Chain A
Amino acid sequence: MTGTFVGMPAFPTAAREALGDTQLRTNLAHATRTIRDKRAMVVAEVEDWEELRVAGAAVKEAALRDLATHLETLEESLVRAGATVHWAGDAAEACAIVASITHAHGVDEVVKVKSMATAEIGLNEALEAEGIAAWETDLAELIVQLGDDLPSHILVPAIHRNRAEIREIFLRRMGDVGRPAPADLTDEPAVLAGAAREHLREKFLRAKVAISGANFAVADTGTLVVVESEGNGRMCLTLPEVLISVVGIEKVVATWSDLDPMMRLLPRSSTGERMNPYTSTWSGVTPGDGPQEVHVVLLDNGRTRALADDVGRQALRCIRCSACLNVCPVYERVGGHAYGSVYPGPIGAILNPLLRGVSDEQSASLPYASSLCGACFEVCPVRIDIPSVLVDQRAAVVDSHRDDRVPKAEALAMRATAWAFSDSRRLAWAERASGLAGRVLTRFSRTTLPGGRAAAGRLPGPAAGWTGARDLPAPPEESFRAWWDRTDGGTKGDGS
């Protein structure tokens, strides 16, 4: 049994708790810095990286804008190649399809390749309810599963764990579900990886059914692509008799040659390598080689909702590289759990509300989980303008409350501000009021900023959010506007 994101608090609350965990912040700061540097190095090696990004974005955008055609082509190509195609409108349908195929083969366990789509639909929990054990075989997923934990990163779901914690989890839990960890296990990463190899090998060798996702699905050839590092993917895709791949409908690219920009963009953006250790591609069934029964489950689960959003549609270009997480100053400090979803970080802050709407408080908090610094857009290999989508999703949140009988205090404040900002005379009046406040503050303040200006220390009420940790300069007695009026733009009197 793993943890659940259901019932997670809104982002600011979850973030506050995460910020209090110093071990988490140390683990995250180290990990994100390491991968940021690696990415920067291999990206700098590609002279025409910007052009490559433009091509990658166009490949995905073209596929999305004619998605129905490409999905039909994909289905035809897959069937021609010997695969069985299933369609799932939501998570429950997808889980039921997978469970039913597994039951049909009379097995009570499956091995899994790391897959965001299956994490999104809660497949492991659904299979468990059907009496089927789903073994995660990616090292980080294994750490999360054995630790009854939740994923906190797209690429490295156990990024919040350090080596000592992982050693403890392996020692405590491996024996419960299979081959135990050796008693003399150390916390060397190589030794820990070795323990995972031994633990999982018996599961790979006996597995009859495997479950995967896909990084790309090529419409014109019916080819699925899995990009990985450890070889657990190859094990699952090659050794079992039956392979079930759960593929989001946005994974489609039109043609085989479209894989070119993608396979140059993804590894460099993701793990910061020129190429990941292993990529497997397969088109249906190959007689005498690999699984002889191949299923593909095409999953919607909110994707068509996102597709209908003119600004948000671009989020479906995402190739799950996680570069945006690694550069995000918010993610680096609060980690992935605070986002309450298998999709954390900047992409999660737009993808979750796009997939499921903003009617619940947690989803509605996600578009605000960003300072809009734009570092995510800068690194995105498919040029998703995350800051613009964040702002647009904020508007979606606000618009969903426009008919509230009792408006939120924030809405009232924004309306009042907009009213003042719509006419300079109103603004001038507000500034005179603030100037008066400034005069009082300057007279009584005991805080002085370097340079001599008076400031407010801790204030009560709505200002507490600011002054809890930051001094606030006292408003000047005279606004710029009033100065300009009084001195005729600094030309009258002494001009000061």
Chain B
Amino acid sequence: MANLLIKADKISKVYKLFAEEIKAVNNLDLEIFQGEFVAFMGPSGSGKTTLLDILGCLDRVSSGKLEIFKQDVSALKESELVKIRRKNIGFVFQEFLLIPTLTALENVELPLLFAGMPQERAKAQGLLEKVGLGGRVNHLPKELSGGERQRVAIARALVTSPKILFADEPTGNLDTKSGQQICEIFQELNRKDGLTIVLTTHNQKLGTQAKRVVYLKDGTIVSREESSLCV
């Protein structure tokens, strides 16, 4: 059996909106193994982004037990979560969220700076070449197209060699062609490099490229299916 990376046991996330309690994630069980490509799909408000934030150690569960890399993170403090994020988790966001004052290369180097490994700068350059931006490393985000920015963001997420890549609607702000390029990059990362990828998407195409699609509604899983496209 493949290596278990994430094990969620009856996890819930509750927000208080005025007097009302909203269960964004409701009593959910989930296991993710090494090498998987999982897509969370579902309507807006189904809790997929919240689930992604929790699994990616950006947010904490309200109840239940969450183990990541065999470590119980349910009760960890922010300062301990950051250590897990730093070396094991890469994040890609719908709005790219690059630092506008830094060049493509500097954006990719930034996680190395925070992780205390500035000596691995060559890796940042290599990753930008890998996503097809070798010639644009000194451009600022505003000088890049949406698709190019997202590719910079992917390089940034990968620079610390994480065990899992999380992506929140990575093609949500892109045209079809750029979205397709991003899909292909994810495919390659998963198939060739064996990188575990977990993402949320509305994009059917991206969804079907995943090895496993998890449909969510009202914070719970309504169906799990193995994609027929992938072997």
> Are A and B a genuine interacting pair, yes or no?
no
Residues of A participating in the B interface, judged by any CB pair closer than 8 Å: none
Residues of B participating in the A interface, judged by any CB pair closer than 8 Å: none
